[in-house]
Amino acid sequence: MKAIAVCLGLLAAAPVVAQEAVPCDWPARADNIAEPWEENTRTFAEGKVRLALLDTAEPAAAAFHVFVLSPPYDELGLRQCRTIGLNGMGFAGADFGSLQAAYDPAVGLIFTMTVQVYDGMDYTPRTLRFTLNQATGDIGAQLSP
Mean pLDDT by 10 residues, the chain (145 residues): 41 52 85 94 98 95 97 96 94 98 97 96 96 97 95
Q: What is the pLDDT of residues 39-66, one digit of tens each?
A: 999 999 999 999 999 999 999 999 999 9
Give the model's pLDDT for residue 75: 96
Give the model's pLDDT for residue 11: 43
Inter-CA distances, 92 with 44, 65, 145, Å = 25, 9, 15
CB distance 142 to 115 below 8 Å: no
Give the model's pLDDT for residue 18: 58
Give the model's pLDDT for residue 3: 41
Give the model's pLDDT for residue 99: 99
Give the model's pLDDT for residue 25: 83
| φ/ψ of residue 34, rounded to 5 | -65, 135
Give the model's pLDDT for residue 5: 42
Burial zone of 10 (CB within 10 Å; 0-12 exposed, 13-18 middle, 19+ buried): middle
Q: Which residues contact 140 (CB under 8 A, 6 or more apart)?
A: 21, 130, 131
Amino acid at 8: L
CA distance 80 to 44: 15
Q: What is the pTM of this model?
A: 0.83
The residue extents of the domains of the chain are 2-144
Give the model's pLDDT for residue 28: 85
